[in-house]
């Protein structure tokens, strides 16, 4: 739930946009499966839902590496 204050910086938003693009591009290119893409996105959404902004920001910065390292 939103507490009405911004928790993500402008830089975080840029990294989030890039992360989402990487997930979609990697899925489209066959680099990751649909399940891996959904899992990565769900992980970030869950982190934000429970207020764990630091975890979400970490995934925005390194998520592509995290997803590929599990292969």
* pLDDT tens-digit series, residues 14-68: 999 999 999 999 999 999 999 999 999 999 999 999 999 999 999 999 988 888 7
- Whether residue 2 lies inside any domain: the answer is no
The answer as to whether 1 is a domain residue is: no
User: How much is the pLDDT for 3?
Assistant: 58
pLDDT value at position 2? 53
Q: Would residue 41 count as lying in a domain?
A: yes
Domain of residue 32, residue span: 10-69
For residue 57, what are the contacts with CB-CB under 8 A and spacing of at least 6?
8, 12, 15
Residue 34, domain member (yes or no): yes
In a domain, 5, yes or no: no
User: Is residue 4 situated within a structural domain?
Assistant: no
Give how many domains the chain has, as a whole number: 1
**pTM of this prediction?**
0.83
For residue 53, tell me if it sits in a domain.
yes
């Amino acid at each position: 739930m939103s507490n009405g204050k911004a928790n993500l910086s402008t830089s975080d938003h840029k990294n989030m946009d890039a992360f989402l693009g990487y997930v979609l591009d990697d899925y489209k290119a066959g680099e990751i499966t649909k399940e891996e893409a959904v899992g990565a996105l769900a992980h970030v959404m869950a982190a934000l839902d429970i207020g764990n902004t630091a975890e979400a920001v970490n995934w925005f910065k390194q998520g592509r590496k995290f997803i590929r390292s599990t292969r």
